[in-house]
Amino acid sequence: MGTIEGRKPQVVLVPFPHQGHITPMFQLGAILSSRGFSITVAHTEFNSPNPSNHPEFNFLLLPDSLSGCESSYMNSLNEILAINKNSKERFHEYMVEMLETQEQHGQVACVVYDTLMHFVDEVATRLELPTVALRPNSAAYLRSDHVILQLQADNLIPLPESQLQDAIPTHPLLSIRSSSAIIWNSVDMLEHESLVELQRHYKVPIFPIGPFHKMAPKFNTSLIAEDTSVITWLDKQAPNSVIYISIGSLAIMDKKELIEMAWGLANSDQPFLWVVRPSSVSGSEWIECLPEGYEELTRESGCIVKWAPQKKVLAHPAVGVFWSHSGWNSTLESMCEGVPMICRPYFADQVVNTRYLTNVWKIAIELEDPERKGIEKTIRTLMRDKVGKELRQRALKMKQELELSVQKGGSSWNSLENLVEFIMSFTQQK
C-alpha cells in the first residue's frame, strides 16, 4: 500500500486527552498501522502519552495551556475550551509542514479526530484535507443526545415525573457538522438500529469496527501505572467467585459512598478486587477514608489497588462480576469476556450505557441502592441467585457473537475492510 514512491499513506490522529478517549484512538491507530498506514498522533501536553510505548507512531506535541490541571469530569468543559483555542494554530503549522513534505514521507490521506477536538475540522477545511470523526462512545449515546436537544427545542424538558421512565419518543435528529465519515468503536449486532438512524441523519459512511481492543494488536494505553500483581492474587481464587470493582479514570465519589461500598463488599462474603483510584474520593490521597481496621478485616477476601490491567482481569476465570461505572470502553471489555455487570453510572454516556446493559442487552443489574445492605443484596443476586445465572448465560452468548464479528467475514471485519478502502480513496483523488 502506498501512493508516493511506494511510501505508506499517512493518517493523522487527534485524540481528546482523557483516558476513555485516548484508549480507543490509539487502538484505532494500531489497527490502521497493521493495515499499512503510517500513523502520526497530534496530542496535547496535558495527559501526554509516552512515545516510547508506541514506537510505531510518530508524535506531534500541541500546546494547551493546561499545566497543572487535574483530570476530572468537572474540569472537562474548561479543558475542551482551552484545547480548542490554544492548539489550533500549532496544529495548522504541523499540517502545512506535513503537506509540504509528502514526497519524502508519504501522502497525507486524512485526519481522524475525536469530535471534542473540533478545531481540527476548521484547520482541515482550510487546507482541503478530508477528515473522519471518531466517536469513542456508543451510538445509542449520540442518538440520545439528539433526542434530548430536540425535546429541549420542543419545550418538553423537564418531563413530568410520571414520564421519566417512558421510552424516549422519536424525533428528527438535529443537523450538526459532520466529516467525510464516522468511525464507531461499536458492533452492528449491538447497535444496529441506532447506527442505521445516525447514518440516515449524517448521510456519510459509518464504520462500526469494534470492539477496537479485539481488532488491535495488544499494547498498553493506560495513563496510570497498572498493578500487575493482581493477576497472581486472582490465580488463587475460585472460578467466577471474584467481584471486580472499578469506576474508571474520572468518576469521583464522596467519603460516605466509599464507606458504604466497603461494608457492602465485606458483608457480601465474596472475594473482591477493588480499584480505588487515588483521586476517586474527593480530597483524599488514597484509602485513608476506609473504616479503621478494614484492610485487616478483609485481608483474606479482598485486594485493594490503585489501578489494574483491566482487560487481563476481566479475562481471568476467577472474575464473576464487574462492578462498573458503565463507561463504553469498560462495557465493551466486559462484554467481550462474558462477564455480567453491576452498573453504577456517574455521568455522560454511562447513564445511557447502563440503560442498554440492563434493559436491552440484559447482562447487568443497576445498583439502585448504594447503601451497604443494597450493595450486599445486589452482589448476592448476581453471584448466587437464578437471576445472576441467567445474566451470565446471556453475557457468554454475547461474548460468542462479538468474537464472530471480529473474525474474517464478520461485520466488524468487513467494516474495517471498507474503511481501509475508503481512506485509500482519498489518496486517489489528489
Minimal CA–CA distance to 306: which of 251, 226, 243, 376?
A: 226
Query: Per-residue pLDDT tens for 194-217?
Result: 999 999 988 999 999 999 999 998
Q: Which domains are present in the chain?
A: 10-218+405-428 (3.40.50.2000), 229-404 (3.40.50.2000)
Question: Is the pLDDT at 426 greater than 70, yes or no?
Answer: yes
Do 376 and 267 meet the contact criterion of CB atoms below 8 Å apart?
yes
Higher-pLDDT residue of 420 and 66 is: 420
Render 10-77 in DSSP notation, one character per residue.
EEEEE--SSHHHHHHHHHHHHHHHHTT-EEEEEEESTT---GGG-TTEEEEEE--S-TT----STTHH
CA distance 246 to 259: 15
Query: Per-residue pLDDT tens for 30-44?
Result: 999 999 999 999 999
**CB atoms near residue 417 (< 10 Å):** 14
> Which of helix, strand or coil describes residue 123?
helix
Helix (H) or strand (E) holding 170: none
Q: Tell me the residue type at 69.
A: C
* Res 171: pLDDT: 37
What is the edge-to-edge ordering of all strands in the sheet holding 272-275?
A: 302-305, 272-275, 242-246, 319-324, 341-343, 364-366
**Phi/psi of residue 131, nearest 5 degrees:** -125, 150
Query: Per-residue pLDDT tens for 339-371?
Result: 999 999 998 899 999 999 999 999 999 999 989
Query: What average pLDDT does the chain have?
Result: 89
In this predicted structure, which of 14-18, 55-59, 198-202 has the lowest mean pLDDT?
198-202
Higher-pLDDT residue of 224 and 231 is: 231
Do 362 and 296 meet the contact criterion of CB atoms below 8 Å apart?
no
Minimal CA–CA distance to 12: which of 20, 24, 33, 4?
A: 33
* Res 88: pLDDT: 95
Q: What is the pTM of this model?
A: 0.90
Question: Is the pLDDT at 167 greater than 60, yes or no?
Answer: no
- Cβ-based burial of 304 (10 A; exposed 0-12, middle 13-18, buried ≥19): buried
